[in-house]
Structure 1
């Protein structure tokens, strides 16, 4: 239950994950006062977007123990997490839908665009036979986390891979219901929705960031894994956050400190072509997943999600305005994707 005097952000997050968890995650994240202080019976698209991100951050912290331990240490030191972006992976068959979903990134563009996000960058990930898209928020680009949505192009792989991908993903469900559709339509038309409508919609929007296709067979999983670790990851984890990213002042110092604690940090920091964006990450958390076989079910330990760190420098753009460099880098992204490459 939420109290009438709650700010909109608190009311939304509490309705999705409960009041104790909401209080914890909202105290953990460094949230712009424009978002945390909004109150009344109407929710802006930016606040709903921040609520969605807070719930998804809470979810991934429950799945990535090294990330949760790092976050707990930051909180104990009186510091907060500046949530930079979350990343998810999608499947694109090149012709038609992915099960009941629009193909690839379109499954999430239909959610993100009504919430005020715009396509901010297109990143070829050719080594992985994928394309990445960055979505930044129009109203609060530096304060509302971005989404990095990648799609895997099935038609670039072998016929055997394509057949296995169809068997795995053709039964993908669309979990957005009428309440979510109503709220997204309001956000798209007005830039806001009434609080009750937003609260009713949030669980369905959150549910879209999960695996919504059936448990894959072991043979299909192995076929996908043989050509693409990324496709195999999507087969088990779906559209859940692949990683969440903490924006820090000095990513190199953070990496060294985490290595000193014995945590599984990437060997090298990825540096963008401009030199202004630097990224590293914990290695993927091992998870146990069930697969179907002709003899029954089998459980394997495979790579799950992970926690990432990023430093972004400010620069003077072509109009003479100083900005935070919110862009991504194809080389960086492909390096970070290797965190889930084992298994």
Structure 2
């Protein structure tokens, strides 16, 4: 790693990605200065949160080659990526829990809460039959990436859809083991964790952002897709980063530059009701996924994850030391969700 001031952070990420990938991930990102030169036998919840984000961002780039090509170009020019937020999709079933997990966003509240996050805003996504929540870090709200956690309300769909969703997502397993639970408990009660315990827990926390239900059948996937492309996406990708978002100075000029390069970027930039938040994104890269088709296993190309850009302007009045508008916007989010609608 080129910056030796973040050795503790590198030590954490290394446990999830390996030494070479950890150095690459951290060299790519703008890291919070408050985490520089942290040392000792304990690690803060902010450092654990940043390590988790770095590992998840690295994983997204492995699934989203269009975003990876953009990041490679930024690095070749000597730049870094300011990770604004990552987004995940969850499911709430009419019966209550999602398999072995708490329903919807609560499955990740039990992870994000101990890491220092709180819900800073709730965003109805009515056209999608979903609700979004913005999780913001208490300690370093502008510097540690946020999470946008959406949940799909299965009870709002047809009875046939509900039956399929119950079958597919009802098989969800709980990825957290005793070590991860112990680390989260320590973080929740003390705001910090023994470094070695955090190192052992981080790979499990990273893995939690994956698919933990059974491989769906092709018929089930098609039934979900007919009513909700978002549900179909969760059926193949699970709780992986749906997208990761790069905070940039001028999303409008960046959008034009990427379009001239021939990259598949959204035709229009989304603008929030306040006018202070502007977003655009690359179209999701296709991925090949496995399905059951009777006694056979078949493979199909489906929409995967994507890379997003956001510009946040200053608030008229700072709030609790926060100077940027860190809010999300329901209309913006629903426009961006279209990036995974088709291959």
TM-score by structure 2 length?
Answer: 0.97
Q: Which residue is equivalent to 1:134? A: 134
Mapping for residues 136-215 of structure 1, pairs under 5 Å: 136-215=136-215
Inter-partner Cα distance in structure 1 for 2:322 and 2:199: 37
Counterpart in the other structure of 1:335: 335
Distance change in 2, residues 1:103/1:86 (3 Å) = same
1:98/1:260 CA distance change after superposition, 3 Å: same
State the partner residue of 1:255.
255
Q: CA deviation at 1:283?
A: 0.1
Contact 1:316/1:322 (CA < 8 Å) preserved in 2? Answer: no
Find the residue that maps to 1:131 and give its secondary structure. strand
Q: Which residue of 2 aligns with 1:296?
A: 296
Structure 1 match to 2:266: 266
Contact 2:179 2:201 (8 Å CA) reproduced: yes
State the distance in 1 between where 2:246 and 2:6 align: 27
Q: Secondary structure at the match of 1:256?
A: helix
Q: Distance in 2 between matches of 1:27 and 1:321?
A: 27
How far, CA to CA, are the matches of 1:16 and 1:115 in structure 2?
17
Runs of 4+ in 1 over 2 A off after TM superposition: 316-322
Show the 5 A alignment for 1:218-257.
218-257=218-257
Indicate the SS of the match to 2:63: coil
The 1:105–1:34 alpha-carbon spacing in structure 2 relative to 1, beyond 3 Å, is same
Task: Quickly say closer, same or farther: Cα 1:271–1:62, change in 2 above 3 A.
Answer: same
Q: After TM superposition, give the deviation of residue 36 of structure 1 in Å.
A: 3.7
Residue 6 and residue 46 in structure 1: after superposition, are their counterparts in 2 closer, same or farther (change >3 A)?
closer
Unaligned runs of 5+ in 2: none
Conserved in 2, the CA contact under 8 Å of 1:94 and 1:155? yes
Distance 1:212 1:141 in 2: 30
With structure 1 as the length reference, what TM-score do the two structures score? 0.97
> What RMSD over aligned residues (CA atoms) do the two structures have, in Å?
1.4
Q: Give the SS at the match of 1:317.
A: strand
Structure 2 residue matching 1:62: 3-state secondary structure: helix
Task: Give the conservation status (yes or no) of the 8 Å contact 1:314–1:322.
Answer: no
Q: State the partner residue of 2:7.
A: 7
